[in-house]
Amino acid sequence: MDTLLPILGGLLLVGGAAFLLLGGLGLVRMPDLFNRIQAGTKATTLGTLLTLSGVACLQPAWGLKLLLIGLFILYTNPLSSQVLARAAHRAGTEKSSKTMVDRLAEDTGEK
């Protein structure tokens, strides 16, 4: 058990950092703003949470503070991405040409 926990922590660290890398790659490669919001917030949230749990496995004494940071990110990150997406939609950001439906525009009655 004493040898297993640090190995698990290291693997969690690498997995979380890989999700961060995928989020950054999505920010560069995605075609329009709303797709970039998907990549830039969801993947990086998961990556940060995995990395925090990895550090908690390597340094169990820091667990409570890391849990606090993780909970804070888990609560605030979806909120900020939602506010950002709504603001961009109201500001009339142009969508990708492959966009099929826009439920928010249908609901508010604009074109």
With contacts defined by CB under 8 A, how many residues of the chain interact with other proteins?
Answer: 53
Pick the closest to residue 13 from 59, 52, 70, 60 (CA basis). 52
Looking at beta carbons only, is 36 or 102 nearer to other proteins? 36
Contact 9, 63 (CB under 8 A): no
Pick the closest to residue 60 from 16, 11, 6 (CA basis). 6
41 binds other proteins (CB under 8 A): yes
State which of residues 60, 78, 80, 104 lies at the interface with other proteins (CB under 8 A): 80
> Can you tell me the distance from the alpha carbon of 14 to that of 83, in angstroms, rounded to the nearest whole number?
30
Contact 43, 91 (CB under 8 A): no
| Residues of the shown chain interacting with other proteins in the complex, contacts defined by CB under 8 A | 6-7, 9-11, 13-14, 16-18, 20-21, 23-25, 27-28, 33, 36-37, 40-41, 44-45, 47-48, 51-52, 54-55, 58-59, 61-62, 65-66, 68-69, 72-73, 76-77, 79-81, 83-84, 86-88, 90-91, 93
